[in-house]
Amino acid sequence: MKRIIDEIKGTLEVEKQTFSDGGETDDVVRGWIEGLEYVLSLLDDDTVEQIDYNSDEYCDKLHDSELEKLSERLNYIETEQKLAWGLHRISGGFVKAEFDDVDGDKIHITITDGVQSDCDNSVNTTHCSLWRDTLEYTD
């Protein structure tokens, strides 16, 4: 994230220099400056989690920001699967997506779905993985 912030700051300085070198009347340059300043105001250096992507610690655990995004993605997967299988229309229908493990650039999850009733339980379990950076399915 620090690299991205530094890149934005560098681009902002170039745009400000273009503006001061005679581009004061250029609305595109002015728009870029305003947009970049707005983005920087959203990204506060003090709140950006510093992650060393080459460390063993990065590969072995998810950081807070990743956990938050994964939680949202797992909720989405549950809703998506419930609708896809029609389990939202069946009394006792359920889907549960759970985080299992992280392995470098993959996050391993388990999706359990089925129908529970007082006389019979039908349960399916699927193990799959998501790409760590996009949270899209790897398979």
Contact present, 62 and 107 (Cβ < 8 Å): yes
pLDDT of residue 14: 82
CA–CA separation, 128 and 138 (whole Å): 8
* pLDDT digit string, tens, across residues 15-39: 888 777 776 667 777 788 888 888 8
The dihedral through the CA atoms of 19, 23, 24, 26 has a sign that is negative
CA–CA separation, 37 and 33 (whole Å): 6
DSSP alpha helices (H): ranges in the chain?
2-18, 27-42, 56-60, 64-84
Of 12-26, 50-64, 74-88, the poorest mean pLDDT is in 50-64
| Of 122 and 57, more confident | 122
In the chain, % of residues over pLDDT 70:
85
pLDDT mean over 87-96: 91
Residue 76 has pLDDT above 80, yes or no: yes
Q: Whose CA is closest to 107, among 139, 76, 131?
A: 131
| Of 45 and 12, more confident | 12
pLDDT mean over 2-16: 80
Residue 7 has pLDDT above 60, yes or no: yes
Residue 55 has pLDDT above 80, yes or no: no
